[in-house]
Chain A
Amino acid sequence: MGIFKLTIFIILIGGLIPFATYKNFSLMKILSVLFISLGSLMGVIDSLFKLNNKEIYNVTYKLSDIFIVALSINNLTKFFMIIIYLISFFSVIYSFHYLNDSSKALRTALSYFLYSLLIISMIFVVSANNIITFIFSWEVMSLTSYFLVIYNYEDFETIKSGYIYLIFTHIGAMFIYSAFGIMFAYTNSLNFINLSLIPLNIKTLIFILSFIGFASKAGLFPLHIWLPYAHPAAPSHISAIMSGVMIKMGIYGILKIYTMLEFNSIITGYTVLAFGVISGVLGVVYALGQSDLKKLLAYHSVENIGIIITGIGIGMIGQYEKNFAMALFGFTGAILHTLNHSIFKSLLFFGAGSVIHNTKNRSIEQMGGLLKNMKVSGLTFLVGSLAITGLPMFNGFISELIIYFGSFQGLKQLPLTQFASIIAIISLAVVGGLALACFTKVIGVAFLGEPRNDNTSNAKESGIFMLIPMIGLSLICLTIGVFPKYFIKIALYGTETLFLNSIDFHINDYFNFSTSITNISLLFFLILTILFTLKYFCYKTKKIHNTSTWSCGFSKPTTRMQYTDFSYAFSIIKFYKPFVLFKSDYKKIDKIFPNKIEYHLEYLDIAEKYIIQNIAKFLDLFFEKLRWIQHGNIHIYIGYILIVLIILLLLI
């Protein structure tokens, strides 16, 4: 527990120091980054070591009679703490060269302070053991992340995105708090205690309410609308933290509530699975339609949350069906995917940030050929892409494979579960395929080919501190992909917490495939090395000359002849037409010598168009009717006070 406190203290120091030293911009950044990264690194190592002993640490501080800080650190908590500290460590290093506008010194100082608060509040969220601590840290997390999103508050779009995020996060919080309220009504205790004895219908209600709330934080379809707004608006290292770590707090919340309720209901299992599947497939379809690099990554978060929720759904069904292997695979896959997603998504956001920082635009339509100038960013982005698409040798593959295993276990069960499992398997396959299509698009359009404008062709590689985190995370992706055994073991520690009456089992009984993955990967690398060596020796004497990409023998190629992202993605998206709306704007050629012709195509999100906008319209109509209350007449404002005073005096 001592190191736990020390870690938080160091991170807090790192957040407070900038206020004292912001006059000297680089000194401020050095000290702050040093302290926060040191604290985060300590946190990672500490949590990793503590995972081995299954002890549960409980601490309570009584601040007042009502506000009691209660912390409980079990293995699931430690697992999430590893994620938080790990991404925080890389992200803060990344920020050193990313936040390099010295005219915004005070703002940067504030941003470091809020960053440290965000990390600490997330640590408290995962270790909270009573309602008050949880709610308090949840609010701090939501608010600090909101202020971090509106870092560039001069931009109107940023403010708008910030508001959308704030509304969604608070609607979600409202659902969570109402679930807590019902919990309190039935147990009369503010602590997170075992709720297995309360009636089943109340359990279902609590689960549904908290599921909606946590899903809105996690960005599950159709509550994901804020993700594609907030991530492009935020600075890249904040996007990485938010997409990599903060939305995982929603996953943690769902798991936590599930454990507390000891909840066995097949309907909810199917519902969770269905939401996961829908979110996974639609997330990646929408991602395919985006040309804004960060928006695209935001939609991929929706997709990956979908995969994680699918895993949880499989686990819940397995738990109900008393199919131990199915539950184990489902939950372990979900938890491991949480770690994996946080790693490769942060990596991709770092890459995107690096590209956007240097080309000064966000649309991949304007990029091209970046791999030539930005070798490290390009290669690490490629690693991240391979990982997110779930290709072997990288970490995404491992967790998706485990979820596949879980789904296949479901085929042994009753017909309905069989059907659900088949749906899960098919959708996982679809998601994987579409993600691959999406990232070939990004790599092909943005990194390969020829630059489409001057900003892109003049782009230089980013500073060293932006590259270090990217290289580090790529190596972790590769390590998990090649040596999955140890990481599966870490995820299993987390899973153990979910099984309250856990059965003793040995990792090799279920996960012996991990050894063969390692063997095959090593074999692959061996072959790869041999091939490269052969290539080197074969081409040593031959003359190699360079020409522009995709010229295909054409004598005078221009950049306009390249594949654009829309032309690449359109044929795939067309297949999903009922779920993706098109808005095209095209002026027809009406003269013999036509003027400049423009064609504009935009994909609309059905959740935003049909669900959220209708709710917003309804609310707008309702509040428009109440507009007369704010009329600007001071006399009547005071009259309100008088009326309330008299009514209160009469009622008391």
Chain B
Amino acid sequence: MSNLILTLTVLMVLFCLGSSRLLSIIYLIAFQGFLVSVLPFFINDKITISVILFILVTLLIKSFLIPIFLYFVMKRITIKREIEPIIGYNGSVFLGLIIIIISIFIGNKFNFHINHHNTFLFPAGITTLTSGIFLIIARKKAITQVIGYLMMENGIYLLGLILSNHNLNIIEFGILLDLLVGVMLMGIVLHNINKTFDDIDTTLLKSLRDL
């Protein structure tokens, strides 16, 4: 079951890389958040109250709060789709596939003492993380970049699952809180960028550099 979830997560990554509609990307990231959040159910050996509580909070934030917030931001700035990406959609999907290959290669190099007997966890985490950064690089609209940031965090979350012991979820909570605040700040910044430049195209920020 956990393998299925991981496969779906990676597929969501590819979907995100290939779609131009902002609304669908938000749906996809919400679904990916959902997948990632429920993963501990299937890989943890024993399910305690704290694990359930943790999963529920993660689920709430990742797949409801943040996407809804992003949805309202999108409505407010009235931008529906990504036009003129820096790297095209087909190219992005192709690069996504290359990222998966490199991740598996890296995953084979690392011999973690893996608790969960799940060899796909590490490559999937690396793929999601790297694709998140890739999304930030490859798209111009700031809202897509926020989504790339979210995807990156999902990747970190997956990697964290390998490294942390079952009950040490305190770090994950910290990251989650960071993320929530980060996205809210991004919303405000987005609004201001939109007001200043009449667009949320981040290449316009180039005019802010010195010399």
Contacts and interface: CB of A to CB of B under 8 A. Distances in A.
A633 interface: yes
B165 interface: no
Given A633-B206, A649-B106, A638 B126 contact: no
Contacts of A638: 133, 136-137
A641 B152 CA distance: 13
Interface in B30-57: none
Given A649-B106, A649-B126, A632 B209 contact: yes
B203 A633 contact: yes
Nearest to A627: B211
B136 A635 contact: yes
A635 B202 CA distance: 8
A652 B105 CA distance: 12
A636 interface: yes
Contacts of B202: 634-635
A646 B137 contact: no
Contact of A634 (B130, B138, B205): B205
A185 interface: no
Could you tell me the dominant secondary structure of chain B's interface residues?
A: helix
A642 B106 contact: no
A633 B136 CA distance: 12
Contacts of B110: 652
Interface residues of A, number: 16
B101 to A, nearest CB: 12
B170 to A, nearest CB: 25
Interface in B158-197: none
B157 interface: no
A639 interface: yes
B60 interface: no
B203 A642 contact: no
A645 interface: yes
A650 interface: yes
B206 A641 contact: no
Given A635-B86, A650-B106, A645 B133 contact: yes
B133 A635 contact: no
Contacts of B203: 633-635
Interface in B64-106: 86, 102, 105-106
Contacts of B102: 646, 650
Interface in B98-141: 102, 105-106, 109-110, 126, 130, 133-134, 136-138, 140
A639 B137 contact: yes
A645 B126 CA distance: 11
A634 B126 CA distance: 22
Contacts of B109: 650, 652
B130 A636 contact: no
Interface string A617-652: 000000000000011111110110110011001101
Interface string A395-406: 000000000000
Nearest to B136: A638
Contacts of A633: 203, 206
Nearest to A633: B206
B71 to A, nearest CB: 24
B135 to A, nearest CB: 10
Contacts of A649: 106, 126
B80 to A, nearest CB: 21
Contacts of A631: 206, 209
A635 B209 contact: no
Contacts of B140: 635
B133 A632 contact: no
A43 to B, nearest CB: 46
Contacts of A650: 102, 105-106, 109
Nearest to B87: A635
A650 B203 CA distance: 30
23 contacts: A630-B209, A631-B206, A632-B205, A632-B208, A634-B202, A634-B203, A634-B205, A634-B206, A635-B136, A635-B138, A636-B137, A638-B133, A641-B133, A642-B133, A642-B134, A645-B130, A645-B133, A646-B102, A649-B106, A650-B102, A650-B105, A650-B106, A650-B109
Given A632-B205, A636-B137, A652-B110, 5 more contacts: A635-B140, A638-B137, A642-B130, A645-B133, A652-B109
Interface of B: 86, 102, 105-106, 109-110, 126, 130, 133-134, 136-138, 140, 202-203, 205-206, 208-209
Please give me the 5 A-B residue pairs with the lowest Cβ-Cβ distance, nearest first. A632-B209, A632-B206, A642-B133, A639-B137, A635-B137
